[in-house]
A and B are shown apart, each in its own frame.
Chain A
Amino acid sequence: MPDGVGRPLLKVNNVYVSFGALQALLGVSLEIYPGEIFAIIGPNGAGKTTLINVISGVYHPSPGEVFFEGKERTFMPPHHVAALGIARTFQNVALFKGMTTLDNLMVGRHLQMRSGLFASGVYWGWGQKEEIAHRKVVEDVIDFLEIEAIRKAPAGMLPYGLQKRVELGRALAAEPKLLLLDEPMAGMNLEEKEDIARFILDANEERGTTICLIEHDMGVVMDISDRILVLDYGRKIAEGAPEEIRSNPEVIKAYLGAHGKK
Chain B
Amino acid sequence: MFYRETGVLKTTYAKDMELFPIPLDKAGFVVVMVLAFFVIPLVSSHYMLVSIFIPFLVFSLAALGLNILTGYAGQLSLGHAGFMAVGAYATVVMYNRYDVPIPVALLGSGLITAAVGSVFGLPSLRIKGFYLAVSTLAAQLIIEWVITHVKWISGGVYSTIDIRALEFMGWQIDTAAEKYQFALIFVVIMAFFAKNVVRSRIGRAWMSIRDMDVASEIIGISQFKYKMLAFAVSSFYAGVAGGLLVAFYYGSANIEEFHLLVSFQILGMVIIGGMGSVLGSFLGAGFIVLLPIFINLTISFVNHRIVDLSKVFTLDLIANVENMIFGALIIFFLAVEPFGLARLWNTIKDYLRLWPFPY
Indicate if the CB atoms of B196 and A97 lie closer than 8 Å: no
A144 to B211 CA separation, bound complex (whole angstroms) = 26
Complex interface: chain A residues within 8 A of B207 (CB): 96, 98-99, 103, 107
Indicate if the CB atoms of B200 and A108 lie closer than 8 Å: no
Complex interface: chain A residues within 8 A of B196 (CB): 120-123, 127
Q: Which residue of B lies closest to A121 (CB)?
A: B193
- Chain A window 105-134, contacts with chain B (Cβ cutoff 8 Å), 1 for yes, 0 for no: 011101101011100111100011011100
Complex interface: chain B residues within 8 A of A131 (CB): 13, 17, 200-201
* B27-35, B100-108, B219-227, B321-329: which lies at the interface: B219-227
Indicate if the CB atoms of B13 and A110 lie closer than 8 Å: no
Q: Is A149 an interface residue (CB 8 A)?
A: no
Known contacts A120-B197, A131-B17; is A79 also within 8 Å of B217 by CB? yes
* A33-41, A59-67, A86-94, A186-194: which lies at the interface: A86-94
- Chain B window 175-200, contacts with chain A (Cβ cutoff 8 Å), 1 for yes, 0 for no: 00000000000000000011011001
Indicate if the CB atoms of A82 and B218 lie closer than 8 Å: yes
Indicate if the CB atoms of B218 and A56 lie closer than 8 Å: yes
Indicate if the CB atoms of B202 and A120 lie closer than 8 Å: yes
* Shortest Cβ gap from B11 to chain A (Å): 13
Indicate if the CB atoms of B13 and A82 lie closer than 8 Å: no
Q: Which residue of A lies closest to B74 (CB)?
A: A98
Q: Is A43 an interface residue (CB 8 A)?
A: no
Known contacts A97-B211, A131-B17; is A87 also within 8 Å of B202 by CB? no
Q: Is B91 an interface residue (CB 8 A)?
A: no
Instruction: From B197, B221, B223, B276, name the one whose CB has the most chain A CB atoms within 10 angstroms.
Output: B197
A116 to B13 CA separation, bound complex (whole angstroms) = 21
Q: Is B4 an interface residue (CB 8 A)?
A: no
Indicate if the CB atoms of A82 and B215 lie closer than 8 Å: no
Indicate if the CB atoms of B17 and A135 lie closer than 8 Å: yes
Indicate if the CB atoms of A94 and B193 lie closer than 8 Å: no
Q: Is A170 an interface residue (CB 8 A)?
A: yes
Indicate if the CB atoms of B208 and A96 lie closer than 8 Å: yes
Indicate if the CB atoms of A96 and B211 lie closer than 8 Å: yes
User: Could you tell me the dominant secondary structure of chain A's interface residues?
Assistant: helix
Chain A residues 116 to 171 lying within 8 A of chain B, measured CB to CB, are 116-117, 120-123, 127-128, 130-132, 135-136, 139, 170
Q: Is A238 an interface residue (CB 8 A)?
A: no
Complex interface: chain B residues within 8 A of A113 (CB): 201
Q: Is B50 an interface residue (CB 8 A)?
A: no
Indicate if the CB atoms of A107 and B217 lie closer than 8 Å: no
Indicate if the CB atoms of B276 and A88 lie closer than 8 Å: no
Interface size on B, residues (CB 8 A): 31
Indicate if the CB atoms of A99 and B211 lie closer than 8 Å: yes
* Shortest Cβ gap from B9 to chain A (Å): 15
Indicate if the CB atoms of A128 and B217 lie closer than 8 Å: no
Indicate if the CB atoms of B204 and A107 lie closer than 8 Å: yes
Q: Which residue of A lies closest to B276 (CB)?
A: A98
Q: Is A78 an interface residue (CB 8 A)?
A: yes
User: Could you tell me the dominant secondary structure of chain B's interface residues?
Assistant: helix
Known contacts A122-B193, A128-B14; is A79 also within 8 Å of B220 by CB? yes
Q: Is A12 an interface residue (CB 8 A)?
A: no
Indicate if the CB atoms of B222 and A79 lie closer than 8 Å: yes
Q: Is B353 an interface residue (CB 8 A)?
A: no
Question: How large, as a class, is the contact surface on chain A?
Answer: 35 or more
A95 to B214 CA separation, bound complex (whole angstroms) = 10
A88 to B218 CA separation, bound complex (whole angstroms) = 7
Indicate if the CB atoms of B197 and A107 lie closer than 8 Å: no
Complex interface: chain B residues within 8 A of A122 (CB): 193, 196
Complex interface: chain A residues within 8 A of B210 (CB): 96, 98
Complex interface: chain A residues within 8 A of B222 (CB): 79
Indicate if the CB atoms of B216 and A117 lie closer than 8 Å: no
Instruction: From B194, B210, B215, B219, name the one whose CB has the most chain A CB atoms within 10 angstroms.
Output: B219
Q: Is A54 an interface residue (CB 8 A)?
A: no
Complex interface: chain B residues within 8 A of A58 (CB): 214, 218
Indicate if the CB atoms of A115 and B214 lie closer than 8 Å: no
A218 to B342 CA separation, bound complex (whole angstroms) = 49
A189 to B145 CA separation, bound complex (whole angstroms) = 62
Pairs A-B, 4 closest by C-beta atoms: A82-B220, A96-B211, A123-B196, A94-B215
28 contacting pairs across A/B (C-beta < 8 A): A77-B217, A78-B218, A80-B220, A82-B218, A82-B219, A82-B220, A90-B214, A90-B215, A94-B214, A95-B215, A103-B204, A106-B201, A107-B208, A107-B219, A111-B219, A115-B202, A117-B197, A117-B202, A120-B201, A120-B203, A121-B196, A127-B200, A128-B17, A131-B13, A131-B201, A132-B14, A132-B17, A174-B219
**With A127-B196, A127-B200 given, can you name 7 additional A-B contacts, CB distance below 8 Å?**
A83-B220, A95-B211, A96-B211, A98-B276, A99-B208, A110-B220, A139-B13
- Where the two chains meet, the residues of A that have a C-beta atom closer than 8 Å to any C-beta of B are 56, 58, 77-80, 82-83, 87-88, 90, 94-99, 103, 106-108, 110-111, 113, 115-117, 120-123, 127-128, 130-132, 135-136, 139, 170, 174
